[in-house]
Structure 1
Amino acid sequence: MAHVLITGSSDGLGLMAGRLLTDQGHTVTLHARNTERAAHARAALPAAEDVLVADLRTLDGIRGLADAANAAARFDAAIHNAGIGYREPRRVETADGLSELFTVNVLAPYLLTALMTRPGRLVYLSSGMARSGDPDLTDPQWTHRRWNGAQAYSDSKLFDVLLAFGVARRWPEVSSNSVEPGWVPTKMGGPGAPDDLDQGPVTQAWLAVSDDEAAKVTGRHFYHRQERSVSAEAREPAIQDALLDYCAELTGTAIK
């Protein structure tokens, strides 16, 4: 049985993935932004081993989660589920002077990957909106452009694919993949989302623990347990490395 960390798992797809895994007999550690949400997660999934509390909107908060995770155990897998959606009406700047959406959606999985004791499997939550993403790093913090929440989100989800593929190249002994869960009716997706909610958490849980040969791969992108194509740009090592180097510059921590 595997020990799995799931970020952003006090509700929504993260909590659902945790429930799937505990039902299968795996050990799950959840994560919540604050103590109130942590209490909700504990009540919703008593079978979880623990709920770590950290605010991923700051670099110190991300580092704190990495420290807490390393103190808890070596995880067999980490599902990087935490994220901010595409409906943000304005750019929010963090205490570090960065875009909040970029910090949570991109820097959090990057820095946790760099700082945590290396799991055997890494799963990064992307989105179908990544197909509209732009990998250009001229202004990823949206400090010079007029804010567009949908585009900023799409870019961040493409960056998550680049992160998964870049880590797969640099750490060939680790299974590192990205997932689009579908447009499902969660709090982020909205009540009118057309995809199957029950299928939303399945692929990330499967990639984290399954012994199926189809799940024991790396550098792939999935939708409903099937490999799905990505843009040619996402496959370019130079573009992957540009993102990893940019994140290393922002955080002072490199993935080598």
Structure 2
Amino acid sequence: MARIFITGSVDGLGRAAAEELIAAGHDVVVHARNEERADALGALRSHTLGVVTGDLARAGDTHYVADQVNAFGRMDAVIHNAGVYLEHDRGTTVDGHARTFAINTLAPFLLTALIQRPERLVYLSSGLHRGGTDSLDDLDWMTRPWDAGQAYADSKLHVTTLAAAIARRSGTLTASVDPGWVPTRMGGPSATGDLRLGHITQTWFATSGEIDRSVSGGYWHHKAQQRPHPSAVDTAFQDRLIEALEAITGERLGGA
């Protein structure tokens, strides 16, 4: 049985993944933004290995989340599930960054750098990442005119690229996953996707013994590998993005 940490796991796809993994006998550490949100876990909380708290929009909190996870010992897998979509007015600027960039890009990067490296890393992407831009100018949207849709697409290109870069740089088995447009709190009630199909790729990739390492770094939708944005597999862009994120955060990604 595996030990797995899932960000943003109070509700939606993160909770669905946690419930499925716990039912299968795995040890799961879940994450909530704060203790009030953790209360929404209800009875599920007693079935987890533990709960960590921290607002991933804030660098200090993200460091604290990593410290809490490391206190449990090395994870077998981490699922970077937390994310925000179409934040208005820069989604409230936090630590000098637009909230979309802070949660969707910086937090997965920081947690990857700070948490003891597991065997497997899974990053929640989106089909909208194909509309992302590979410019690294003003990554945190402090001077550009705010465009919530573009900020989201860019952030999902970033994590798709991050997954591919880590696979290339280390022996860690990684994946980026498009869960589809599903009716979660983020996706909204109009979403047409299947909620169960939205999380099965993450849980499968985190635990399955069927996965060949040759597919590490790939982009997936409903257990099928797909072609991502060309920049995600461009090694020069991968390196430039990581260098930019290291400069912003002051943390080194490192290797294996």
Partner of 2:84: 84
Contact 2:9–2:30 (CA<8 Å) still a contact in 1? yes
Q: Which amino acid aligns with 1:90?
A: D
* Residues 1:34 and 2:27 are matched in the alignment: no
How many correspondences in the alignment?
A: 254
Alpha-carbon shift at residue 140 of structure 1 (Å): 1.6
Q: Determine the structure 1 residue equivalent to 2:110.
A: 111
Is residue 52 of structure 1 aligned with residue 52 of structure 2?
yes
SS of 2:47 mapped into structure 1: coil
CA distance in 2, matches of 1:59, 1:73: 22
Per-residue deviation, residues 99-134 of structure 1 (Å, max 9, x unmatched): 111011011110110111110000000001101111
2:228 to 230, 235, 256: 230
**Hey, what does 1:9 align to over in structure 2?**
9
Please state whether the residue corresponding to 1:200 is helix, strand or coil.
helix
C-alpha deviations, 1:193-239, integer Å up to 9, x for none?
11111111100010001111358841101000010111221110111
The sequence identity of aligned pairs, in percent, is 44
User: 2-side partners of 1:139 and 1:93: how far apart?
Assistant: 17
TM-score (norm 2): 0.95
| Aligned residues of 2:94 and 2:102 also touching (Cα < 8 A) | no
Q: Which runs of 4+ in 1 moved over 4 A?
A: none
Unaligned runs of 5+ in 2: none
Q: Within 5 Å, which residues of 2 pair with 1:1-256?
A: 1-86=1-86, 88-171=87-170, 173-213=171-211, 217-256=215-254
Give the RMSD, CA atoms, in angstroms. Answer: 1.4
For 1:133-176, what per-residue CA distance to the aligned partner results, in whole angstroms no more than 9, with x for missing partners?
112111221122211111100110010101111111111x1101
- List gaps (5 residues or longer) in structure 1: none
Aligned AA for 2:232?
Answer: A
Q: What is the TM-score with the length of structure 1 in the denominator? A: 0.95
Deviates more, 1:95-104 or 1:70-79: 95-104
Change (3 A) 1:93 1:246: farther
> What per-residue deviation string (whole Å, max 9, x for no partner) do you get for residues 59-97 of structure 1?
1111001111111121000000011112x1211454421
* SS of residue matched to 1:189: coil
Q: Distance in 1 between matches of 2:91 and 2:181?
A: 24
- Residue 51 of structure 1 and its aligned partner are, at CA, apart by 1.0
